Amino acid sequence: MSGWDKSPLLFIKTVEEDLAEKRNTVAAELLQTIIASSPVDEGTFKSNHRVTVDSVDLGYDLDAKEDSQIGVVEGTAVLAKGLSAIDEAKGPYHSVTIQNNLPYAEALENGHSQQASQGVYMTSFNFIKEKHGE
């Protein structure tokens, strides 16, 4: 009679670690893509991407213009803050939320910017989804 040399239960920890790592990788890549795709006027939109774990952040800051220089926002401070939040999701069963709550964020997502005529979040999501498979 054949059987398992090791119990399949021993693989649970490995699978959970792989799941957490994949989620964090996808979330980080999505955040980077969202930031890179964000239209820039004064930098407020790009500076208001918020990342949370197992919660949502409904706030925004109309005065946020991090990294702005001559009308160009690199987004490095927003990226660093977001990556730090993503890194807090250690276990496999956490959700990561990336959002922008500015009053005009929905209009930008609906293409009301020549710099992002197809929106930001959905196009970024579709790009990352294609990259990592469905």
Residue 99 has pLDDT above 70, yes or no: yes
Q: Please state, for a pLDDT cut of 90, what percent of the chain lies above it.
A: 75
Reference 116, options 60, 33, 29; nearest CA is 33
What's the pLDDT band for 70 if we cut at 50, 70, 90? very low
For residue 87, what pLDDT is reported? 97
Task: Give whole-number Cα distances, 26 to 82, 89, 132, in Å.
Answer: 13, 13, 8
Q: List, in order, residues 6 or more apart from 103 with CB less than 8 Å away.
A: 60
Residue 88 has pLDDT above 70, yes or no: yes
Write out the two tokens for 51.
């990342």
What's the pLDDT band for 33 if we cut at 50, 70, 90? very high
For residue 71, what pLDDT is reported? 43
Residue 134 has pLDDT above 70, yes or no: no
For residue 2, what pLDDT is reported? 65
Over the chain, what is the mean pLDDT? 90
For residue 5, what pLDDT is reported? 82
